[in-house]
Amino acid sequence: MKRNVWWGEYELEIGDSGHWEIGSLGLWMEREASEWKMAYSWNDDEDPELWTYRRNESFPDAGVQGERFAVQRTGGTVKLRAVTADRSVVARPRTPFRVPSGHQTRILVSSPLWVEIAVGPEPAYLRELPAKRLSETWFGSTTRDGELAYALKTNARTRLEDLPMRPYRFVTPIVIENEGPDTLFVERLNLPVPHLSIFGAGEALWSEEVRMLRSEVGDVAELDVRSGPPQEAKKAALLSEPRLAFEKGHLFRAFSSLLRL
């Protein structure tokens, strides 16, 4: 059966295997009577626009990481789910931009998602893997004070038509309101993805709209996550809940500051 989307359930008989390519992630799953075999690897050089699923492709012998999951009796379902990264993503616009005082802008940032792998019918979570591996980065004003995050280069587009939709990325609309007394220079943007849900609209993936209100001089903004899918995908279905609960009006370091070493 031809599928339009990679997330959802896949049936495998005993002795069968499935091979998925989602983003730069290659995933193999093989079902045996009382264990699941898993192998995965990443091809970081490729940035494919399509995903693939093939059955009974031979398990790779080398160049992959492998794992086994032992159970009493395996069920026939592999369930893949799209989830957000486990840490914040620091998006660096390829061309930094400025938001003058008293103005606001709405940009679209597309970030890679993670694939959660579970088996069924009695649900058992196995693990999650990034569809594209990102480099780590530090977000903070000093090397003592800050947080570890993933680094992401973004075009920070303002028009949906300019944004390529890829099956392993989800799009977050970000509204930046600058009510501070000075111009805001957006060189790096901290996107707290663990607070976001993922919605699926056809093959496109979205998260809620995020509003960042900056009211004083500095890098701190008030964060607001608008519940439900964004206006571009109003009928999108919820695929995964946020990893972390969100408190409205939460103040956080949203924009870059000069790192003092």
Partner 1 sequence: MRDFLTVFFSLDKIVVVSKALLLVLAGLLVARLLSRGLQRLLENRLDRQRVVLMRRITYYSVLSLFFVAGLHQFGFNLGVLLGAAGVLSVALGFASQTSASNLISGLFLIGEQPFAIGDVVQIGSTTGEVLGIDLLSVKLRTFDNRFVRIPNETVIKTEVATLTKFPIRRIDVQIGVAYKEDLDSVREVLCQVADENLMCLDEPKPLFLFQGFGDSALNIQFSVWVSRENFLELKSAIQLDIKRALDEAEIEIPFPHRTLYAGSATRPLPVEIVSSAGEARVI
The residues in 6-45 that bind partner 1, with binding defined as CB under 8 A, are 44
- Distance separating alpha carbons of residues 23 and 48, to the nearest angstrom: 6
Contact by Cβ (8 Å): 178, 98: no
- Residue 185 binds to partner 1 (criterion: CB under 8 A): no
Q: CB 134 → partner 1: shortest distance, Å? A: 7
**Interface with partner 1, residue 58, by CB under 8 A:** no
* Interacting positions 65-104 with partner 1 (CB under 8 A): 90, 92
Residue whose CB is less far from partner 1, 51 or 139: 139
Beta bridge partners of 198: 240
**Residue of 37, 133, 157, 243 interacting with partner 1 (CB under 8 A):** 133
Instruction: Count interface residues toward partner 1 (CB under 8 A).
Output: 19
Q: What is the CA radius of gyration of the chain?
A: 20
**112 φ/ψ angles, rounded to the nearest 5 degrees:** -65, 150
Judged by CB under 8 A, the chain residues 146 through 165 that form the site for partner 1 are 146-148, 151
User: Which H or E element spans position 109?
Assistant: strand 104-112
Residue of 111, 137, 172, 207 interacting with partner 1 (CB under 8 A): 137
**Distance separating alpha carbons of residues 129 and 81, to the nearest angstrom:** 11
Q: How far is the CB of 145 from partner 1 (least distance, A)?
A: 9
Tell which one of 89, 107, 134, 212 touches partner 1 (CB under 8 A). 134
- Beta strands 77-83 and 114-120 are antiparallel
Contact residues toward partner 1 (CB under 8 A) are: 44, 90, 92, 133-139, 143-144, 146-148, 151, 188, 259, 261
